[in-house]
Amino acid sequence: MPYYDYICSNCGYKFETLQKMTDPPLKECPSCHSCSYLVKQIGKGGFIVFNGSGFYDNDYRKAGNDDY
């Protein structure tokens, strides 16, 4: 899920939120609570999350190989 940056056209407040690409855009500013036009932009805060086993060096080490 990407981060999206929003800018309120009413008060100029900037914020980011984590949303699915299929989620509808936000409509209310959390700062001024106005339902004015929010500008949605793709944020730069993307990162990779590794969940589960198999992503670490020690998961793939051969038995008896202690050369690090």
Nearest CA to 26 among 39, 13, 14? 39
Number of domains in the chain: 1
Q: What is the pLDDT of residue 48?
A: 61
Whether the model clears a pTM of 0.75, i.e. scores above it, the answer is no
Q: Poorest-confidence range of 10-14, 16-20, 54-58?
A: 54-58
- By CB neighbour count within 10 A (0-12 exposed, 13-18 middle, 19+ buried), where does 38 fall? buried
34 inside domain:
yes
Contact assessment for residue 46 and residue 3, using Cβ atoms and an 8 Å cutoff? yes
What confidence score (pLDDT) does residue 49 get? 60
Chain segment 56-67, per-residue pLDDT in tens? 555 555 666 555
**What is the domain range of residue 23?**
1-45
Mean of pLDDT values over 25-48: 80
Query: Does a structural domain hold residue 31?
Result: yes
